[in-house]
Amino acid sequence: MIDDKSKNKMNAIWLEATGCSGNMISFLNSENPGLYQILTNIINLTYNNTLMGAEGDYAFEKFLETLETEFILLVDGAISVKDNGQYTIVANYKGKKITALEAVKMAAEKAKYVIAVGTCASYGGISAARPNPSESKSLQDILTRLVIRLPGCPCHPDWVVGTLAHLVGYGVPELDEEGRPLIFYGVTIHDNCTRRGFFERGIFASKFGEEGCMIRLGCRGPITQTDCPRRKWNGYVNWPIGANTNCIGCAQPGFPDGTEPFVRY
């Protein structure tokens, strides 16, 4: 007997390309809902080259089988294109090395939806930072179809889970011109910052630990579009400015090259 809750459940492939596993770790920390509910009620995660227990040919066969179904493709990490992507190998199938570049193109061609999870997949991020020896690029740079971007270093689990739930239940959420869901990226950090009152009154911190707006310490809150102040991190406990450090703009295009130095006096 099929549980009614699973009727709208959709298959999903999550490929980690040229990244650090930070987005997957963040996803595993999801609390509302938790991982069990995500995997039993929202998606059927058939393939992930970082987490799955299966190895070798058997693992990649699960990837190939999923291509013949209705599925969502999630990619974290930038896509290395140098030497046809040989800098990032995600599988070994029948003696052939499968690059992230090849796997992503295979899956993106058939996926119902494509999601770039994290800043590297969304914009290149740290993986594509100067001097970029692997010639890494964003997911959108190598594809010609719509990519839903969920930038953040790492991406907050709610941004991933909320987007997945919307895709499964209602289709593509309302996106901005960058392809980011407005529900999560429709405001700047500065709009909802807990230190906004200091900014309005002209009270600015001159060093870390002082009360006041941290814009003079290099805070990128005014140009960074996420809902971090309201959502917070690590089980909704805290966020960078709440921990007396400035926003470094990790969810913005051009991070990290375009936002360095992270601290400016």
What is the per-residue DSSP string for 38-63? IIIIIEEEEEETTT-S--HHHHHHHH
Confidence of residue 1 (pLDDT cuts 50, 70, 90): very low
Contacts of 168 (CB under 8 A, 6+ apart): 8, 9, 10, 42, 43, 72
Max alpha carbon distance in the chain (Å)? 65
Q: Which two tokens stand for residue 151?
A: 């930038």
> How high is the pLDDT of residue 3?
46
Share of the chain above pLDDT 70, in %: 97
Long-range contacts of 234-240 (CB under 8 A, 24+ apart): 234/29, 235/29, 235/31, 236/31, 236/32
The predicted model gives 104-112 an average pLDDT of 98
Look at residue 6 and tell me whether its pLDDT is greater than 50.
Answer: no
pTM listed for this prediction: 0.94
pLDDT at position 197 over 80: yes
Average pLDDT value for residue range 177-197? 97
For 236-262, give one letter per residue: b (16+ CB within 10 A) or e: eeebbbeeebbbbbbbbbebbeebeeb
- Taking the C-alpha atoms of residue 40 and residue 157, their distance in angstroms, rounded to an integer, is 17
pLDDT of residue 265: 83
The HSE-up count of residue 214 (CA atoms within 13 Å, CB side) is 27
4-183 — its CATH code? 3.40.50.700
Q: Could you tell me which of 74, 76, 85, 80 has the C-alpha nearest to residue 137?
A: 80
CA-to-CA dists, residue 232 to 76, 117, 209, angstroms: 21, 18, 19
* Ranges of each domain in the chain: 4-183, 189-259
Structure-token match 């080259």, residue found: 49
pLDDT at 264: 86
Side-by-side strand order, sheet with 10-16: 43-48, 10-16, 71-76, 113-117, 148-150
Give the span between the Cα atoms of 107 and 70, in whole angstroms. 11
Identify the sign of the CA torsion 52, 159, 217, 195: negative
How far is it, in rounded angstroms, from Cα 107 to Cα 74? 10
pLDDT digit string, tens, across residues 220-241:
999 999 999 999 999 999 999 9
Instruction: Tell me the helix, strand and coil percentages in the chain, rounded to 5.
Output: 35, 20, 45
pLDDT, tens digit (0-9, with 9 covering 90-100), for 10-63: 999 999 999 999 999 999 999 999 999 999 999 999 999 988 989 899 999 999
Tell me which CATH homologous superfamily contains domain 189-259.
Answer: Cytochrome-c3 hydrogenase, C-terminal domain (4.10.480.10)
